[in-house]
């Protein structure tokens, strides 16, 4: 049977991708960000899974206002890096895992989570920046990736509670897949940031660190946090953090092993948070 | 019964909800068109002509031409869509976000380097009314 081995959490700031692609990683400003991922790159080399289930949000790239699915699972064989207006990022095409994706879709929908199934989709920085942070600049990504897009563009986004429960349904789906695959679930986005209006630039270091503490130790309690707390305390775009609860819900009920924790302000407009939690079966 | 919208009580913030999305539909869809290089080139060559192809309000068109992102957002724009205009102009997300705060580009960058805008005094609209 397949099993979930670990979860990875990270911000996905577009400027991080630009810094990598333009060779600015050595600059002191960016060095402080990338230093937090040195451990992670080595860890991923040691612990390469067979599949990454990558929870992220599309930034008005694959989904315009014509269609806004709350939860969309990518079931295609491959996903091309999108042109977000600056030209596509020079990163490898993302190979999918259509068999496992279809299995998870069927299992999770049977568990009352009405996913949108996507068989053709480009992926934006929300998906490729976490891969770059964890893998560096390889010519191929280390394994297939199932993109799982969550609407955090048009309010209301799904609640933390719903996301956490969905994570549990994903765990159940993976554990019923009849092949010995090691699967990691990644949750991306956040941490505190606001990109719009006169309050842009908001950062809440204390709140972010409390979020990390609770994500590790009290995810069920954390999942009860209402929308307004994210918006008010972590900024209008900080609400992306609900996606981390999907990844956390996918771990077993035993306390996870904290393999790595990192927090840094700023990357562009954003507080960068990063965790690696190893699943304890 | 009216929907509860507690996020109206967050200062300097417009939440892109269904109401804003409806107002800004064509403005945002115009922005989507800028994801194609040929459309970026056409827009740069003649902004007005390009905008006139879309059923946007005159106010929305003027807000785009003056690059007034706060105004664009008030008229239903969403920052992830509006970012396509910034990308067309060669602006970074930081330059775009900073342009909405009344700070210069340098002041905004320095604020972020020194830890960002504090949450203190920035939670509720009444905290800004006193200023």
Residue B28 banded pLDDT, cuts 50, 70, 90: very high
Cβ of B16 under 8 Å from any chain A Cβ?
yes
A59 an active-site residue?
no
Residues in B closer than 8 angstroms to A198, CB to CB, are: 11-12, 70, 100-102
The reported pLDDT for the residue numbered A35 is: 96
pLDDT class for B2, splitting at 50, 70, 90? confident
Q: Does the CB of B5 have a partner CB in chain A at under 8 Å?
A: no
- Burial class for A221, CB neighbours closer than 10 Å (0-12, 13-18, 19+): exposed
Side by side, the strands of the sheet bearing A182-188 are A116-118, A71-74, A145-150, A51-56, A182-188, A3-10, A270-278, A257-267
Mean pLDDT over B64-87 rounds to 97
Kindly report the pTM of this predicted structure: 0.97
Q: Tens digit of pLDDT for each residue in A79-136?
A: 999 988 778 999 999 999 999 999 999 999 999 999 999 999 999 999 999 999 999 9
CATH code of the domain in which A208 resides: 3.40.830.10
Residues of A within 8 A of B10 (CB-CB) are: 199, 231-232, 236
- Cα B91 → chain centroid: 13
Q: Note the pLDDT tens digit of each residue in A84-94.
A: 877 899 999 99
Q: Residue A249 pLDDT more than 80?
A: yes
How close B114 gets to chain A, by Cα (Å)? 8
Closest CA to A266 of A19, A82, A7, A8: A19
The number of beta carbons lying within 10 Å of the beta carbon of residue A258 is 13
B81 contacts A60? CB cut-off 8 A: yes
Is the model's pLDDT at B131 over the cut of 80? no
pLDDT at site A86: 77
pLDDT at A67 over 80: yes
Grouping H, G, I as helix, E, B as strand and the rest as coil, residue A182 is: strand
Place of tokens 């999918």: A96
Q: Residues of A with CB below 8 A from B80's CB?
A: 59-60, 153
Q: Which of A87, A196, A203, A264 to mutate to test the interface with B (most CBs of B within 10 A)?
A: A196
Residues in chain B closer than 8 A to A200 (CB atoms) = 12, 97-98, 100-101, 117
Task: Give residue B25's pLDDT.
Answer: 98
Counted domains in chain A: 1
Domains of chain B: 15-89 (1.10.700.10)
Q: Is B6 near chain A, with CB under 8 Å? A: yes
Q: Of the residues A193, A227, A260, A274, which is catalytic? A: A193
Specify burial of residue A264 (Cβ count, 10 A radius: 0-12, 13-18, 19+).
Answer: middle
Give the tokens for residue A268.
């562009």
Candidates A97, A125, A260, A274; catalytic one: A125
What pLDDT, on the 0 to 100 scale, is given for residue A148?
Answer: 98
Domain ranges, residue A70: 3-278
Q: Where are the alpha helices (DSSP H) in A47-111?
A: 98-110
Which pLDDT does position A232 carry in this prediction?
A: 98
Enumerate residues 55 to 94 of chain B having a beta carbon within 8 A of any beta carbon in chain A.
69-70, 73, 78-81, 83-84, 86-88, 92-94
Instruction: Give the per-residue pLDDT at B64.
Output: 98
Structure tokens, A95? 């190979």
């Amino acid at each position: 049977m397949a099993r979930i081995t670990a979860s990875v959490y990270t911000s996905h700031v577009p400027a991080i991708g630009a810094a990598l692609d333009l060779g600015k990683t050595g600059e002191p400003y960016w060095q402080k960000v990338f230093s937090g991922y040195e451990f992670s790159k080595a860890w991923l080399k040691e612990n390469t899974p067979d599949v990454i289930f990558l929870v992220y949000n599309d930034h008005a790239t694959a989904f315009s206002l014509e269609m806004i699915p709350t939860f969309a699972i990518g079931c295609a064989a491959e996903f091309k890096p999108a042109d977000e207006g600056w030209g596509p990022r020079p990163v490898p095409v993302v190979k999918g895992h259509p068999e496992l994706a279809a299995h998870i879709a069927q299992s999770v929908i049977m568990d009352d989570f009405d996913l949108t199934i996507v068989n053709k989709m480009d992926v934006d920085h929300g998906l490729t920046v976490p891969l770059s942070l964890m893998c560096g600049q390889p010519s191929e990504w280390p394994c297939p990736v199932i993109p799982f897009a969550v609407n955090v563009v048009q309010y209301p986004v799904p609640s933390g509670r719903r996301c956490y429960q969905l994570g549990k349904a994903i765990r159940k789906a993976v554990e019923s897949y009849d092949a010995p695959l090691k699967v990691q679930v990644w949750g991306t986005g956040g941490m505190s940031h606001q990109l719009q209006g006169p309050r842009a630039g908001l950062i809440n270091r204390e709140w972010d660190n409390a979020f990390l503490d609770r994500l590790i130790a009290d995810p069920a309690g954390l999942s009860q946090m209402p929308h307004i707390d994210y918006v008010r305390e972590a900024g209008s775009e900080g609400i992306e953090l609900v996606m981390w609860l999907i990844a956390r819900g996918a771990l077993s009920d035993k306390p996870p092993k904290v393999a790595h924790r990192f927090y840094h302000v700023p990357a562009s407009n954003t507080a960068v948070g990063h965790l690696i939690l190893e699943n304890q079966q | 019964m009216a929907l509860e919208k507690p996020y109206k009580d967050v200062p300097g913030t417009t939440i892109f909800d269904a109401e804003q999305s409806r107002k800004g539909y064509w403005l945002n869809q115009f922005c989507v068109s800028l994801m194609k290089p040929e459309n970026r080139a056409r827009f740069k060559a003649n902004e007005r002509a390009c905008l006139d192809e879309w059923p946007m309000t005159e106010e929305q068109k003027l807000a785009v031409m003056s690059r007034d992102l706060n105004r664009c957002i008030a008229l239903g724009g969403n920052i992830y869509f509006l970012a396509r205009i910034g990308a067309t102009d060669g602006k970074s997300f930081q330059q775009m976000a900073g342009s909405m705060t009344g700070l210069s580009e340098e002041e905004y960058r320095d604020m972020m380097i020194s830890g960002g805008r504090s949450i203190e005094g920035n939670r509720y609209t009444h905290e800004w009314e006193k200023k």
